[in-house]
A and B are shown apart, each in its own frame.
Chain A
Amino acid sequence: QSVLTQPPSVSGAPGQRVTISCTGSKSNMGAGYDVHWYQQLPGTAPKLLIYGNSNRPSGVPARFSGSKSGTSASLAITGLQAEDEADYYCQCYDSSLSGSWVFGGGTKLTVL
């Protein structure tokens, strides 16, 4: 069981908007630590998608956005495209685990 909780799967049709939630606790997000998101396409390494709750690294389309409030965070994808079909993971620092990084269990996004 992961420290951060994500839905196992979400789906949407091309062009639609989907959101992926990530729920933490007082020792990670609730303590003010930032959330980061990764995209993992099939057979590849994870790729940083959002850092510092809502910032996109260079090259990441503006269709991807992140937000955080209290002990929860969300990743939103607008204008869904077939190539967005992937696994998505949230990550945060956790002060109760000697300063470890913790991940969500991952969410499989299916583009219908």
Chain B
Amino acid sequence: QVQLQESGPGLVKPSETLSLTCTVSGDSITSYYWSWIRQPADKRLEWIGRIHSGGGAKYNPSLKSRVTMSVDTSKNQFSLKLTSVTAADTAVYYCSRVAYYYGSGSSDVWGQGTTVAVSS
């Protein structure tokens, strides 16, 4: 049974870089696409982007200039970096596995989420 676990600092200073890692257990990271989704206090879900170990990351246009995702197949992990953070980036960050059904993707397995606050 595949499980995902987010890790990273819970507090980041404004203008600095938010870095999170998602560790995948129970499945090979090379078999799927993986995504990051965040949820601020207003509870709306926002898709940050998705990546595959073979490359070809796709990002939300509203965040594209600040986001980088990568995959480390040796550790079965994928990561998120978000630069120049502000208070608006304060949210619960979820990593998830992407499942495709006739070309349409959804997140079928989620991590428990990690809270990141941006504050000085």
Contacts and interface: CB of A to CB of B under 8 A. Distances in A.
Co-complex (A, B): yes
B106 A48 contact: yes
Nearest to A97: B61
Nearest to B104: A34
B34 interface: no
B24 to A, nearest CB: 15
B106 A89 contact: no
A106 B45 contact: yes
Interface residues of A, number: 27
Contacts, number: 64
Interface string B86-120: 00000000100001011011111011110000000
Which of A45, A51, A52, A103 has the most C-beta atoms of chain B within 10 angstroms of its own C-beta?
A45
B43 A51 contact: no
Interface of B: 35, 37, 43-47, 58, 60-61, 64, 94, 99, 101-102, 104-108, 110-113
Query: Which 8 A-B residue pairings sit nearest by Cβ, starting from the closest?
Result: A34-B104, A36-B106, A101-B47, A45-B110, A52-B101, A103-B45, A51-B106, A48-B108
